[in-house]
Structure formats: structure tokens, C-alpha cells
Amino acid sequence: MQNSTQAANAWRILFLLFLANLFNFFDRTIPAIIIEPIRMEWSLSDFQIGIIGTAFTIVYAIAGLPLGRMADTGSRSKLMGWGLATWSALTAVNGLVGSFWAFLVVRMGIGIGEASYAPAANSLIGDLFPAHRRARAMGIFMLGLPIGLLLAFFTIGAMVKAFDSWRAPFFIAAVPGLVLAVFMFFIKEPKRGAAETVQVSQDKIDRPIRRVLAIPTFLWLVLAGLCFNFATYACNSFLVPMLQRYFQLSLPDAAVATGIMVGVTGLFGLTLGGWVADKIHQRVASGRLLFAAFSLVISTVTTAWALHAGRIEIGVFVAVFSVGWLFAYNFYTCVYTAIRTWSSRACGPRRWRCSLPGCTCSVAGWGRWWWVGYRTTSPAPPWRRPAPRR
């Protein structure tokens, strides 16, 4: 038995991880915001727009497995530093390309860089914070998601308007990422398993990926991640063009409205959700997962109503959709933390702890965008039929 302790530099490292996560989602969101100018310049179909996200996701999913194993056996700080430098540099390259196919190839390269981050950061947080503070720490780390989205949706439309070019945001976004990459290399990592209450083995595991995928609980969590990410990433990718086409908003207005729905809600969902999840977990062992299931039911009902309500006021659409996204954010603090805690207690070996989130990101990443892009070429659902001008 070993004492559950928190690393002395835990909060400083968490802040750095949060900043990198913020720019991870900021960079990732840029194409979703400026996709209409790109579509018009290169005469793209919605199916091609979906392929952009699909290509990124497939590469991200495949790369997550070996990169997760690298984080298990090597330096997590160096892996995150090189990954951050790679995706930031390629983000700038995205602004230089002159064709759809070149843009697609660069996005795939960005997927490799970003795939290095989540498994290593998740593992590092688990070794920095004891179990009873882990959901709160993960909630703070995942605040990079809504704040990154918020900054992207609130500023990129203005950048495009100010520079009269959809390429400008790519150049601007690359700079802070390259600066943060330097700091990543100086992170002093804690000993693996330092925050655990139970001593676990560090022995080398034969064929760990196969053994992880053979665990029923893990497969159910992956299935949940697949369904959840299918919906969330598809919505994030097509909300701005949907608001432009159906509600006939300008690019800056559509981006700000989307920022409210998927960004502002996350500020509350991830902070309050992490706190509630920790409290429930203290009373019920499976409390985090039960809270996640309840939250996703609320999220499904509200977002489905908003998307199928037909011609409603934009304010009503934003309000109802925001409620759904507020509850949806509980998935990150509950399920991701459950994977980390469960793996350390039930699976034992520390060397699995980057492979588990790596597998989750990999399998859950498939099929997010291409299906939505394909469906937008089919007979229009209510939100695809243009609303009359007011």
C-alpha cells in the first residue's frame, strides 16, 4: 500500500496542459468556421467538406494507438512537445495551400500531431493528482475544449473579415502553439503511479493493446465514446454553415452563435460537472458513469428537439441547443476519468495507461464527419430548408 499524494508541481503542469489543450481545439476548429469560404473558393460539395474531417479523424485514430504506446514507455513531455510543434507548424502550412487535396493532406498531418497529446496528457494528470481530485483536475484540463472553441468561434470570423482572407487564422493560430511546445520539453514528470493508493506492477506487458480490447468494460466505454463523438464532432463541424444557410447569418454572427452553444456551455459544464461527478463518486462507486448517462439523456432530447423543430427563432434554437451541450460536457469529466481510474485499479499495469485513452480516441474517432456530409446531399431535413428572410 502506498499513500495517495499530489505532486508539488501538479497545478503548474496542469495549467500548461490546459493551455496546450486550448490551442489543440482552437486549431482543430478553424476549418469548421471558415468552411463556407473554402467551399465557395474551391467549389466543394458538402460530401467533400465531410471528407476533410474524416481524413483528419482516420489519421488521428490510427496514430493514437502507437503514440499511446510511445507515451507508455517513453517521455510524455517530449512526446507532447514534438506533437504540439508539429500540429502548430502544419496549421500555418494549411494557410498556404492552393487546392482541396493539398488542404486535405495537411489536415491529415495535423491529425498525427494532435493524436500525440491526449493519451500522454491524460496519463500525466493521473500521476499528478490522487483519485479523489482527478475528475476536478480533468475538468480543468478539459476546459481547454470549450475555451478553445469559444476563442475560435468568437475571433476567427473577425480575423477573416479584418484580413479579408480565410487563410489568416491559420497563420495567427500557429504562433502560440509553437511557443507552448518549447515549455512542454521542460516539464518535470512525476513517477508513474505516484498518486495511486495501491501499488501496481511496472512489468512489461505482452501484447497490451489486444489485452485491453479484450476487456468488456473498456469496449462498452469505447462504444459510448464512438456514439458521443460521432454526434459532437459532426455538430461542431457543420453548425456554422448550417446557421449561415438556414438562419442566413453572416460568418461572424454564425461563429459567435456557435461559440455560445458549444463554448460558453462548456465553461459551466466542465467545472460544475467535474465537481458534481466527484461528489457522486464519493457516495456511489459507479456514480460518475451514472451521472454521465443521465446527462447524455438530457443532451440527446434537447439537441434533437432543436434540430427537428423546423423554423424557430434563432434565439430559441441557441438556447435549447445550449442546454443540450451543457449536459453533454459531463461525458468528458465522467467517462474519461472513469477510464483512467478504472484502468489503474482493475487493469493494474501502469504501462497501459496511455494505451487506454489512445484506444478510446482511436476507436471513437471513426465515422464522425463523412456520414453527415453524405446526408446533407440527401433530401433536406428541417434544418436544411432555408428559413425565410425576416
Round to whole Å and give the CA distance between 236 and 261: 10
Dig out the grid coordinates for 379 from the structure. Answer: 433530401
Dig out the grid coordinates for 201 from the structure. Answer: 506492477
User: Which top CATH class is 10-192+206-384?
Assistant: mainly alpha
Round to whole Å and give the CA distance between 110 and 132: 34
Name the most confidently modeled range: 208-217, 236-245, 343-352, 354-363. Answer: 236-245
For the entire predicted model, the pTM comes to 0.74
Query: Each residue of 228-262: pLDDT tens digit?
Result: 877 887 787 789 999 998 899 999 999 999 999 98
Residue type, 360: T
Round to whole Å and give the CA distance between 330 and 266: 9
Contact 56, 164 (CB under 8 A): no
Cα-atom radius of gyration of the chain, to the nearest Å? 20
- What is the DSSP code string of 93-120? HHTT--SHHHHHHHHHHHHHHHHTHHHH
Query: Each residue of 262-297: pLDDT tens digit?
Result: 888 888 887 788 788 878 878 887 788 888 889 999
Of 59-63, 64-68, 161-165, 194-198, the poorest mean pLDDT is in 194-198
Contact 131, 197 (CB under 8 A): yes
Dig out the grid coordinates for 88 from the structure. Answer: 502548430
Residue type, 49: I
Interval 191-206 mean pLDDT: 59
